[in-house]
Amino acid sequence: MAMDDDDELEDDSTVIGANPDSLGTLHKDRAYLIVIAGTQVGEMIPLRATTIIGRGVDADVRLVEDKMSRRHCRLLVEDGVTYLEDLGSSNGTYVNGTRIARQKLNDGDKIQVGETTILKFTYNDSLEETFQKQMYDSALRDGLTKIFNKKYFQDRVRTEFAFSARHKTALSLILFDIDHFKQVNDTRGHLAGDRALVVLAQHVLDLVRTEDVLARYGGEEFVVLCRETSAQNAGVLAERIRASVEQLPIVFNGERIPITISMGVAMIPDRELADVDAFVNAADAALYEAKRSGRNRVVVHRSAT
């Protein structure tokens, strides 16, 4: 998705509004798409006056789908009414199972784009919005760092891998962890270790693109999944992250906690990496080599062929 679910709309006037019901008792003032099937199930996507859906880099809502056009469809508001328009997509846009060219949307309509993605169009009030976000976060977010969790990463990497393999586009994976993290917990306590994990996660989140996936892989280990990124560019990003983390001011109980990270990078297309497991293992092997060769460094997987 081109929009991250943590992005906040600073100006409510730019959000599509809904009229009260016939009794004038409901005031659902925010319009959303909610992903109910496909990648990122449960995500809420706030709509603006015009919202383009597709797999291209210029789409407002970017989805990874084999049968998705670069500019697949758009939602727009005219005189307070929301319409969905197909943008000449190859495989069509459907509302409640019927292929459409242009369709007025009603609360609860189901929109199918691509092969597996189904979006629900709905208006929510502030209570519903908060509840939906809590449900989404609890399922897909790490409880400590608030970035994506391992399950979310595992779902996304399989979808992204299949898409990249089929379309011959680059996909890079950066796997990294904190050097000597056990010493932080042993000498400063687990609360200090937790503080280091939280600050590190938020710092890296600020350095990656919106369309990249940052997730906690387990313990002190993290992953960054970079769409349409070569191994060279992923290596540059990894080095930027590594160098900045070395200077990161992590403070707990008035004392700075210095940390460094080791990083492994892998990329497809690569004839050696025929499936997702091989892809992840290649990044893991590169991370191991970074550890073995002295830590606090980046190693990029190189194919033997």
- The sign one gets for the Cα dihedral 31, 226, 39, 94 is positive
Tens digit of pLDDT at every position of the chain (305 positions) = 444 444 433 444 344 444 444 334 444 567 888 888 877 777 788 888 899 999 887 888 888 777 889 899 999 988 878 999 999 999 999 999 999 999 999 999 999 998 889 999 988 655 555 666 666 666 788 999 999 999 999 989 998 998 898 889 999 999 999 999 999 999 999 999 999 999 999 999 999 998 899 999 999 999 999 999 999 999 999 999 999 999 999 999 999 999 999 999 999 999 899 999 999 999 999 999 999 999 999 999 987 75
Per-residue model confidence (pLDDT) at position 213: 95
Q: What is the H or E stretch that residue 206 is in?
A: helix 190-207
Bond before 258 cis per omega within 30 degrees? no
- Of 235, 239, 221, which Cα lies nearest the Cα of 301? 235
Per-residue model confidence (pLDDT) at position 5: 40
What distances in angstroms separate CA 105 from CA 49, 112, 286, one per listed residue? 14, 13, 49
Per-residue model confidence (pLDDT) at position 99: 96
Does residue 220 carry a catalytic annotation? yes
Distance CA 223, CA 165 (A): 20
Q: What is the DSSP letter of 79?
A: T
Q: Which of 43, 65, 160, 220 is catalytic?
A: 220
What distances in angstroms separate CA 118 from CA 19, 34, 172, 237, one per listed residue? 25, 9, 27, 33
Q: What is the H or E stretch that residue 215 is in?
A: strand 213-218
Distance CA 134, CA 129 (A): 9
Give the pTM: 0.72
